[in-house]
């Protein structure tokens, strides 16, 4: 009887509350903010724990439909917040429940709490004007604006500590707003721009940021353009159907180390990438400029879901004398271009210098069973890459017989040309 009572006492013991406060706050941070706040009813100890959460996230759809209720509740939370630093505030608002004035109050309160990261998502409907009075912050390090946010920037802008700016489908009122915002971020290092093809008042976005190191652009309209003035740029990613002349890099790009170019048809842009050490390409060979030398290129990743992709490969091998790593990838979810007769792979008359002197790693990844041209290209590389140390083939869906056949075919080439190369065939 006594033993049973002891066991019952152990079961009823509140061991969670005995954990260190820092660990309890960490556990609460894994919950949605509203659920974390709801734990305040558990006991006196839990009453104030949520107030120490470093990150807060609110969605107006989770609150009463009455206008003003959402902002009132969130403001109350922010004013009660006691953490030394408010690391992040994420607001998902709908104008039907949280109008521009309410949103301004929320952001103003967050700025007073020295927030480090502000994420503002505006739901479908009317455009939400980002408050003109809130373009000055000493502590804000990351700003993300998404969807129906209209940016009309005054001349007095200073985000002194801002390092990261992400703009998803926002609209600028005019060119001056773009200039004022970017020039008011003297230490900006990371910029992401995802343009809305249907709601973009500014047609040519001028990105003039001397401190910028990483730039990512998503663009799905050939009517929108870019002028990039970023002499410190080290990483560039551009995705979309940019036409020739719609994206210009005006400054010297000697600092540029890595570039990822997807679906871009722009010869002038490609000419600005010759200083990179790492390059990922998903472009048609027909649109790629000839006669360019990538003297610093050491890593090349080439998407091979285009017709006659081997023409681009040959061009890049000839243009990259110091290439050490070559990856050929046929994405699983990518649609192979249908351009009629693709022709076939023909070995170049001359072996590229990178194959003779520098290439050490070769990777082929494919999700299709018919690999005639891919294997011919691979055999050519295995045969001529004198310094090759490792060749990896990741082919999805091969049955055991085809796997053995392919492995024997590749091994026969390696035995004759380069006995020191490690050959690895992965089939899942």
Please tell me the total count of domains within the chain.
2
Residue 337: its H or E element: none
Which of residues 263 and 416 earns the better pLDDT score?
263
Q: Where does the pLDDT of residue 46 fall: very low under 50, low under 70, confident under 90, or very high at 90 and above? A: confident
What is the per-residue pLDDT across 149-172, written as a single tens digit (0 to 9) for each? 999 998 889 999 999 999 999 999
Tell whether 14 is covered by a domain: no
Give the model confidence (pLDDT) of 353-366 as tens digits: 999 999 999 999 98
The answer to whether 189 and 209 have CB atoms below 8 angstroms apart is: no
Output the pLDDT for position 415: 76
Kindly report the pTM of this predicted structure.
0.86
181 within domain boundaries: no
pLDDT of residue 398: 72
Q: What tokens were used for 151?
A: 């940016």
Q: What is the pLDDT of residue 285?
A: 61
pLDDT at 420 over 60: yes
Is the residue at 386 inside a domain? yes
Phi-psi map region of 397: left, alpha, beta (phi>0 left; psi -120 to 50 alpha):
left
Position 141 in a domain: yes
Domain final position from 161, 177, 194: 161
Distances, alpha carbon 23 to alpha carbons 16, 26, 33, 207, in Å: 10, 5, 16, 43
Residue 120 C-beta-side C-alpha neighbours within 13 Å: 27
* 220 within some domain: no
Of 337 and 329, the structure prediction assigns the larger pLDDT to: 329
Residue 377 falls inside a structural domain: yes
For residue 340, tell me if it sits in a domain: no
> Which pLDDT tens digit goes with each residue over 74-113?
888 888 888 888 999 999 988 777 778 888 888 999 998 8
Output 244 or 22, whichever has higher pLDDT. 22
Question: Is the Cα torsion angle 313, 315, 318, 321 positive or negative in sign?
Answer: negative
Taking alpha carbons only, the member of 303, 316, 214, 322 closest to residue 264 is 303
Sequence length of the chain is 428
User: Is 183 part of any domain?
Assistant: no
Q: What is the mean pLDDT of residues 250-266?
A: 84
| Res 242 pLDDT > 50 | yes
Identify each DSSP E strand in 230-378 by its residue range.
Answer: 235-240, 247-249, 258-262, 278-282, 299-303, 325-329, 361-366
Task: Give the H/E segment covering residue 103.
Answer: helix 100-112
Residue 97: which domain range?
A: 49-161
Choose the final residue of a domain: 107, 130, 161: 161
Q: Report helix, strand and coil shares of the chain as percent, to nearest 5.
A: 30, 25, 45
Q: What's the whole-number mean pLDDT along residues 126-136? A: 88
Q: Write out pLDDT tens, residues 198-236.
A: 888 999 999 999 999 999 999 988 788 899 999 999 999
Nearest to 162 by CA among 136, 180, 134, 123: 136
pLDDT at 12 over 70: no
Show which of 139, 161, 183 is a domain's final residue.
161
At residue 147, the pLDDT reads 92
Q: Determine the Cα–Cα distance for residues 134 and 143; give it in Å rounded to an integer.
A: 12
């Amino acid at each position: 009887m006594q033993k049973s009572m002891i066991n019952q006492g152990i079961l009823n013991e509140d061991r969670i509350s005995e954990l260190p406060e820092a660990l309890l706050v960490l556990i609460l941070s894994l919950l949605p903010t509203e659920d974390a706040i709801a734990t305040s009813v558990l006991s006196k100890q839990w009453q104030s724990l949520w107030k120490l959460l470093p990150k807060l996230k609110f969605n107006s759809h989770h609150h009463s439909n009455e206008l003003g209720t959402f902002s009132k509740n969130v403001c109350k939370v922010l004013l009660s917040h006691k953490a030394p630093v408010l690391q992040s505030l994420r607001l998902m608002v709908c104008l039907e429940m949280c109008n521009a004035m309410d949103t301004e109050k929320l952001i103003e309160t967050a700025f007073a709490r020295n927030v480090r990261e502000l994420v503002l998502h505006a739901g479908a409907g009317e455009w939400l004007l980002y408050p003109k009075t809130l373009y000055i912050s000493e502590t804000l390090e990351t700003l993300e604006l998404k969807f129906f946010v209209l940016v009309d920037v005054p001349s007095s802008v200073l985000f002194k500590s801002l390092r990261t700016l992400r703009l998803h489908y926002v609209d600028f009122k005019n060119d001056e707003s773009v200039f004022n915002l970017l020039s008011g971020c003297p230490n900006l290092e990371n910029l992401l721009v995802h343009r809305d093809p249907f709601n973009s008042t500014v047609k040519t976005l001028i990105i003039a940021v001397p401190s910028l190191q990483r730039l990512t652009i998503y663009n799905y309209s050939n009517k929108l353009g870019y002028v990039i003035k970023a002499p410190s740029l080290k990483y560039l990613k551009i995705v979309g159907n940019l036409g020739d002349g719609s994206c210009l890099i005006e400054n010297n790009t000697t600092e540029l180390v890595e570039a990822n170019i997807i679906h871009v048809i722009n010869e002038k842009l490609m000419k600005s990438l010759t200083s990179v050490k790492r390059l990922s390409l998903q472009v048609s060979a027909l649109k790629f400029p000839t006669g360019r030398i990538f003297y610093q290129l050491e890593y090349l990743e080439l998407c091979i879901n285009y017709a006659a992709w081997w023409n681009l490969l040959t061009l890049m091998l000839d243009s990259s004398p110091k290439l050490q790593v070559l990856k050929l990838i046929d994405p699983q979810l990518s649609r192979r271009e249908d351009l009629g007769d693709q022709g076939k792979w023909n070995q170049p008359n001359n072996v590229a210098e990178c194959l003779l002197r520098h290439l050490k790693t070769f990777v082929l990844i494919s999700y299709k069973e018919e690999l005639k041209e891919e294997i011919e290209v691979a055999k050519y590389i295995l045969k001529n890459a004198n310094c090759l140390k490792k060749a990896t083939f990741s082919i999805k869906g091969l049955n055991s017989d085809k796997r053995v056949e392919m492995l024997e075919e590749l091994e026969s080439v390696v035995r004759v040309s380069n006995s020191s190369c490690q050959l690895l065939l992965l089939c899942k």
